[in-house]
Structure 1
Amino acid sequence: MKKRLLLGAVAAVLLGSAQAANVPPSASMQIEFELPKLEVADYARPYVAIWVEDSGGKTVRNIALWTGKDTEWLKDIRRWWRKFGRYQGDGIDAYSSATRPAGQYQVQWDAKDGEGNPVTSGDYTLYVEVVREHGGRDLVRQPIQLGQQEFSMSSKAKYEIGSVTLSYKI
């Protein structure tokens, strides 16, 4: 009986350490998406937030934030604001930039957390939230599994954002 318990404990430690392994240092994700040209009377460039959360819903990394000059409107990026912005909005200069016109875009994520450390292998969710003044709001929520396997996937297009394509490379 003691032998079985000992073997079980050793297996749990080994499995735990295997699950906590970091993604390879060379890992990265390319995120491609489109901001469609909308034929509306009062078009404003959209605010865009792209970030990653862990399986517990904690923000791991803010990848991009495209906003106007007036940060008062950041709260309109609702999901991002509720999860991160209202609590830690002071450091947004590190990853924010100006809004962009309609077109195709790519951003890179180096598979590191906000501290610059490689993330551990496991389940995450990538979010892309797009909000336009006098317009709509779309949220793409894409579950991803990071580890030793490369993958590519695409989401369906929505009104304020075209399809989002992810390409994870090691």
Structure 2
Amino acid sequence: MKCSRLLLLALVCATTPGMAAELSVKVEIPQLPVAEYHRPYIAMWLEKNDTAQVTQLAVWYDQKKRDNGGTKWLKDLRQWWRKGGREMEVPLDAVTSATRTPGIHTLTYSTGKAPIDKLVAGDYTLLVEAAREGGGREVVRLPVAWPPKEARTASGKGLEELGNVTVQLKP
């Protein structure tokens, strides 16, 4: 009797799809050949295509400036600022962190965990915006369907402030 219950439980687990979907964002910050290099401020967020719903994923800014001076430059991330950045209280756990050095940086989010724990099913656009003191600003946009029914990858590339940006979705 116990053996048949275990066999039935194993069969149910094997045929039930996993509930933990995953969203990974890989961002390349290029090293620019300039006399005085400043690390870029970067914001990443998801916008639901059919509503104004915005889910903040990450905001990288200079958190070590005296008297929280790094926050004064956040408004230079203009599109992010208009899409909810101005209402955000920073630092925000699981979203804000320090600026990053040039190189490739990967952030991975899983269902059931902040900040994507409340994402409803639908079509989204992932936006990655960069702004740098003494430099330019740019935005890379990638399509995202949530939750993913199959593994998918979308990529884009910035012209100067951002290198390759890739989003990977796993069911």
TM-score by length of 1: 0.77
Which residue of the partner structure matches residue 31 of structure 1? 25
Instruction: Give the partner amino acid of 1:44.
Output: H
Whether the 8 Å CA contact 1:122–1:146 is kept in 2: the answer is yes
Q: CA deviation at 1:113?
A: 8.5
Q: CA deviation at 1:58?
A: 1.9
* Alignment of structure 1 residues 135-150 onto 2, 5 Å: 135-147=135-147, 148-150=149-151
Q: Distance in 1 between matches of 2:90 and 2:26?
A: 25
Which residue of the partner structure matches residue 57 of structure 1? 52
Q: Distance in 2 between matches of 1:113 and 1:58?
A: 18
* Alignment of structure 1 residues 78-93 onto 2, 5 Å: 78-87=78-87, 89-93=88-92
More displaced 10-residue stretch of structure 1: 115-124 or 30-39: 115-124
Where in structure 1 are there 5+ consecutive unaligned residues? Answer: 1-23
Q: Distance in 2 between matches of 1:115 and 1:153?
A: 20
Q: Distance in 1 between matches of 2:29 and 2:137?
A: 12
Provide the aligned length of Structure 1 versus Structure 2: 145
Cα 1:105–1:42 change in 2 (3 A) is same
* Alignment of structure 1 residues 124-139 onto 2, 5 Å: 124-139=124-139
Cα 1:158–1:90 change in 2 (3 A) is same
Where in structure 2 are there 5+ consecutive unaligned residues? Answer: 1-17, 64-69
Q: Distance in 2 between matches of 1:138 and 1:113?
A: 29
Whether the 8 Å CA contact 2:40–2:131 is kept in 1: the answer is yes
Cα 1:112–1:58 change in 2 (3 A) is farther
Which residue of the partner structure matches residue 158 of structure 1? 159
RMSD, aligned α-carbons = 2.0
Which residue of the partner structure matches residue 66 of structure 2? none
Q: Distance in 2 between matches of 1:36 and 1:112?
A: 32
Deviations 1:81-138 (A, max 9, x none): 1110112x21542111111111111011225686763423220010100110000101
Q: Distance in 2 between matches of 1:79 and 1:113?
A: 25
Cα 1:135–1:116 change in 2 (3 A) is closer
Q: Distance in 1 between matches of 2:158 and 2:91?
A: 27
